[in-house]
Homo-oligomer: A and B are copies of this chain.
Amino acid sequence: MTIYAVLGGTGDLGGALVRRLSAIGREVWIGSRDPAKAAAAAALLSEEFPDAKVGGLGLAEAAAAADICFVTVPYAAHADTLAQVRDAVQGKIVVDATVPLKPPAVGRVQLPASGSAVVDGAAILGEGVRVVSALQNVGAEKLARGGDINADVLIAGDDAEAVEVVRALLAEIGLRGWHVGPLANSAAAEAMTSVLIQLNRRYKLGQAGIVVTGKFEAPKT
């Protein structure tokens, strides 16, 4: 059975992801810079869901224990987190949800010089890691609440097999994902987050998202 780690799993998006994975019976390690905080978050979840197979560890330990790692840390901690887990994730799938938001102007698109924070992260991890970009455009609150999410996930990656693994997993936790091309196309999802922040502010949409539309009703996957 695949084991998951959510690096930054004590945060809003990471926590919501841990809940969704626990809800379908998956084994999940919450990874945090502060292992005690990770353990406390895991204990809280275990109280709520006694059957949850969840524990808390440091970043590198959680990454080492897992087959697939999600990265849901703030942009300011992104490069440092990846450097810490680099050795532990060689050969594994890393699902990076990072958005290069620069507070306080989080509603303004400010992509890094390379065009994508996730592409920068992949360079830190090296070519032996199967990096997939996803989850930049799903509201944490929506995800934590459970139930239907009327928002699609743009999944970018150069490793089509890894993308498909992630797409199938996201479908299991109620998210419709689309393979949107090479890892460089993560730029579109990263930029879209500031647009969604603007929409939330301006139109009071709650947690705005985007849905893909086309000639056909269902994707041919």
Interface on A for B, CB 8 Å cutoff? 107-111, 113, 115-116, 150-151, 154, 178-182, 184-185, 187-188, 191-192, 194-195, 198-200, 202-216, 219-221
Let me know if A107 and B181 touch, CB within 8 A: yes
Of the residues B110, B181, B203, B216, contact of A108 by C-beta under 8 Å: B181
Taking the closest CB of chain B, its distance from the CB of A20, in whole angstroms, is: 19
B191 touches A178 (CB 8 A): no
Contact B192 A192 (CB under 8 A): yes
B215 with A207: CB separation less than 8 A: yes
Contact (A211, B214) CB under 8 Å given A187-B111, A198-B180: no
**Most B CB within 10 A of own CB, among A191, A207, A210, A216:** A191
